[in-house]
Amino acid sequence: MTRLSMAAFLMCLAATPVFAQASTSVRAGNLSGTATAGVNNGPTDNDRDHDQQVARGPRTDDTRDCDSRSVTVHNGNSSASASVSTSPGGSSTVAGGGSPGSHTEFFGCDPPHNRSTR
C-alpha cells in the first residue's frame, strides 16, 4: 500500500462514527427506570434476575394490591425499563413499547407465570 493510500485509509477509519453507549437512570422513591442505547447485546442474566427480584407480586389487570411491577423493552441497540412498587392497597402500572421489532416483557402479577411478553 502506498503512503498516500495508507493515510487515506487511516482517515477513513478515523471518520467512522463511534457508537458509544448512552445510558440514563432515574429514580423516585420506590420507582426506578433505566434507558440504554448504543452497543447492546440484549438482556443479560443479571437483568433478568434483577427484574425478577423487583417484581415480586402477581401480575393482574387489577392495578391495586400489586406490590411490584416492571417492564423491559429491548429493541436492537436500545433498551428501556421501568420498575415500580407501592404499599399494600396502592395502585401501580407500567407500560413499555418500541419501534417495530421490539420485544417487551412484563414482570410480576400473574402467578404461576410471573412474566408475560407482548
Q: Which of 42, 49, 62, 76 binds other proteins (CB under 8 A)?
A: 76
94 binds other proteins (CB under 8 A): yes
74 binds other proteins (CB under 8 A): yes
Cell of 42: 440484549
42 CB neighbour count, 10 Å cutoff: 11
Cell of 54: 423487583
57 binds other proteins (CB under 8 A): no
- Residue 96 CB, nearest approach to other proteins (Å): 5
Distance of CA 22 to the CA centre of its chain: 13
Q: Which of 44, 45, 101, 113 binds other proteins (CB under 8 A)?
A: 101
Cell of 27: 429514580
42 binds other proteins (CB under 8 A): no
